[in-house]
Amino acid sequence: MAALLLRYLVLGFTIAGGAGKEMRPPMLQRPGVLLGPSPRTTSITATSSSSSSSSVLSPSSSSSSYIPSAPDPLSPASFVEAPERLQPHSRAQEEEDDYLYEDYEEGDGEYEDEQEEEVKVKVREPFFGTANSTTTTVFLGATATLDCTVHDIANESVTWMRRVDDMLELLTWDTHTYAKDKRYSVASDSGVGWRRWRLLINGSQVEDQGQYRCQVATQPPKILAVTLVVTEPLVQVVDERGTKVVDKHYNSGSMIELKCVIEKVPFPHLTVNWLRGSTIRFP
């Protein structure tokens, strides 16, 4: 193997400049690779003899036979001393090396960090469709309707409560009724961007008056206060002069004329009864 290597070097030098001339192997450099100090070279003289079939290669500083040692493939000098050890690479690899080399020059070896833009989405909080404090009026005996309309509500629950003195009595939660009084119920409907919880009180009584609370389970809770007013019809008895009669004495045989005046009538057609004691006298 060493003889073949020597023969190859002698033949190359003979073609390039003839025998007896000092030659340097060509410098090879990979694209995008910066070499350090000038690599070490070995000056050799090749002679040929017509009387001998073998060629002798000797360095200029010594007359003995010299065989170059295998260079370190990782050192820059290896690209000069043993060019046949270079691995072939494609044009695509050269273009990739050039691209990386040019990018290094432009950025001075530093890569800028990518900045991610933070997108802040403001979530709207639920809000009521009316003022936070309202009043609802209902006639005695009618069905009271208390509405609680909430906009932009997500999964928050809604409850109806009633204030009794300093306590809060739970009436409904979502669409479930917890009141002991069977006259209470809740109905729910919804539209685009809103939902409504309606508290129903059948056969309203004077005792039902007071403050009711619709509460959305946010933090802190959102509260809609509704005051219920039950209106009673105003009834009074007057005489022929229009004077209110509480107690009045009539002489025997005289004509008695009494009128029943009713104000704040909830319905236009109500049945009015006259009673004497517990007996209905006039339907």
In this structure, the answer to whether residues 224 and 184 fall within a common structural domain is: yes
pLDDT of residue 47: 45
pLDDT along the chain (283 residues), means of 10: 54 50 51 48 45 42 49 49 48 49 48 54 77 90 94 89 92 94 94 92 95 93 94 88 84 86 76 78 62
Domain assignment present for residue 105? The answer is no
With respect to residue 110, please indicate whether it lies within any of the assigned structural domains: no
pLDDT score recorded for residue 11: 52
Name the domain boundary from 81, 99, 117: 99
pLDDT given for residue 9 in this prediction: 54
146 and 208 co-located in one domain:
yes
Give the pLDDT of residue 84.
Answer: 46
Residues 178, 181, 186: CA angle, nearest 5 degrees: 55
Say if residue 156 is in the same domain as residue 208.
yes
> Are residues 177 and 87 both part of a single domain?
no
Per-residue pLDDT at 79: 43
pLDDT given at position 7: 57
Looking at the fold, whether 211 and 247 belong to one and the same domain comes out as no
Q: Residue 121: inside a domain, yes or no?
A: no
Q: Tell me: do 175 and 255 sit in the same domain.
A: no
Examine the fold and report which residue of 231, 253, 270 is the final residue of a domain before the chain moves on.
231
Domain that holds residue 24: 2-99
Regarding whether 266 and 173 lie in a shared domain, the answer is no
Does residue 114 sit within a domain?
Answer: no
Q: What is the pLDDT of residue 210?
A: 95
pLDDT at 19: 47
Res 151: pLDDT: 92
Q: How many domains does the chain fold into?
A: 3
Does a structural domain hold residue 120? no
Asked whether residue 46 falls in the same domain as residue 84, the answer is: yes
CATH code of residue 213: 2.60.40.10
Residue 167 lies in a domain: yes
Whether residue 7 is found in the same domain as residue 75: yes
Boundary (domain end) residue, out of 191, 212, 231? 231
Please tell me whether residues 237 and 227 are part of one structural domain: no
0.75 exceeded by pTM: no
Q: Are 78 and 62 part of one and the same domain?
A: yes
